[in-house]
Amino acid sequence: MTPTGVVMTDFEKNITVSQLETYRQDFMRCYLSWVRRHEEDIMMSLKEEMLRELTIIDNKLLTLEMNIEKELFAMKKR
């Protein structure tokens, strides 16, 4: 049963669970094959993204450290 206003194609009306499972398996096989072929590029992109994120975190920690040092210095002056 489809929601009101949704038109199903003949393909959608006639597909079986077995066929869907076959399509899913084919898709996963193709996807994993693509991932294996591009694994090095994917890993390099992930490493670059992680490095960017770590740099942002490092900068925030440095800023926090400087602010703490300023506060401690101000407290010592009082």
The per-residue pLDDT for 35 is 94
- pTM (2 decimals)? 0.52
Q: What is the rounded distance in angstroms from the CA atom of residue 37 to the CA atom of residue 31?
A: 10
Q: Which of residues 39 and 1 earns the better pLDDT score?
A: 39
Q: Domain range spanning residue 39?
A: 15-77
Let me know if residue 42 belongs to a domain: yes
Number of domains in the chain: 1
Let me know if residue 4 belongs to a domain: no
CA separation, residue 33 to residues 2, 19, 38, 68 (Å): 34, 21, 9, 51
Let me know if residue 6 belongs to a domain: no
Q: What is the rounded distance in angstroms from the CA atom of residue 45 to the CA atom of residue 51?
A: 10
* pLDDT tens profile 12-70: 888 888 999 999 999 999 999 999 999 999 999 999 999 999 999 999 999 999 999 99
